[in-house]
Structure 1
């Protein structure tokens, strides 16, 4: 009788743990300690692509490291990484390199963004990333959402750098901030070519085909887009830096393994 009661109690505890796990995991998200074998570290496919991962550090719209980014690493599905390699091979011959800011994004990072957006007091980076947008409108205007295509593994944020690449000056928390749409000489000194705004600029000027973007800035955006569409990527019209490889390996699944070498160790 005691043995049966103990077994029943263990079953009840296990059931409760499963229910708690399900409640904490958004519908459709696959919470795993490691990535499926379809994921690779971009560096193992193409070590020449520059990686300036923003979310493990303070220089992003939240002002701090984001949940789930255990290491500054670009992780992607294998077909997306190989397509970037094909684009990079051609760009290197033209004197340019791709530079990625963000790749696969865990669901826990997206949840971090949602919590940040719901906090009206968290305004430390407003002067750079969303100077003209009231934070209460970030959901309504589509800048923040509870799901992200990044969590499916075939979407990345990236730009172009003219070679030889100059180093990007480190960001120091608390330093004076300039609007992400200011002239390039006034913006944070990114080493990329001038796209008209910085990365993660919550402003309509970041729309890829915004008519106010002209001249060299227009040429640069078109160059980035044509270089990537030639190998199978599709641009998000609201963000010049945002591209998704098609067809996606996981069009309907959202993952939550951490961004870390251990997540993709042994995947080639």
Structure 2
């Protein structure tokens, strides 16, 4: 092997090590400084909406109230420690996808995002270095959508995904597709909570009593669409 090749490999190894170090430092900083916010966020999740949906008592007002929460441009409390995949993989090997280095298990979803929507960071004025933590959090949220189904999520999880998506929107990432998809998931979630445990006859009554639906019909429709499927279904069409 030539000296030039050796120098190139050494430089690449140093670059990869520096990248991992920087991401670890970012993670550790967020973990320390964001713990009080995470505790507050957990406390706030115990809302009337959560209580109502838990018992299948959901109406149009309840659903729209939660959709408004998803639309709200509130200060984000999301950090790396909110995603198990990041806690487990940040100290491991990284892979380049586009302009960013991401944990290996995020690489497939990052590639799907790139293939489906091109460079989502093209509209951002941030440097790649500054944008990378937000990009990784966004990919982690989409990865969870790809891994989970309706019976595995709750309002707290949906709000976490909102924060990851809003972070990306705030940096002018081209991710409108993600927030629109999140609205669909939210409606499906409430439809699922109403449908859960009901017999076929009870469901027919839910759908056919004019003006007396327990939940908006689009929620039931979305719940049926996502039934038994990953929550990323339809996102990459």
* Greater relative contact order, per chain length (Cα 8 Å cut-off, separation 6+): 1
Question: Could you tell me the TM-score, scaled by structure 1's length?
Answer: 0.26
Q: Which of the pair is proportionally richer in helix? A: 2
Q: Which of the pair is proportionally richer in strand? A: 1
Question: Could you tell me the TM-score, scaled by structure 2's length?
Answer: 0.28
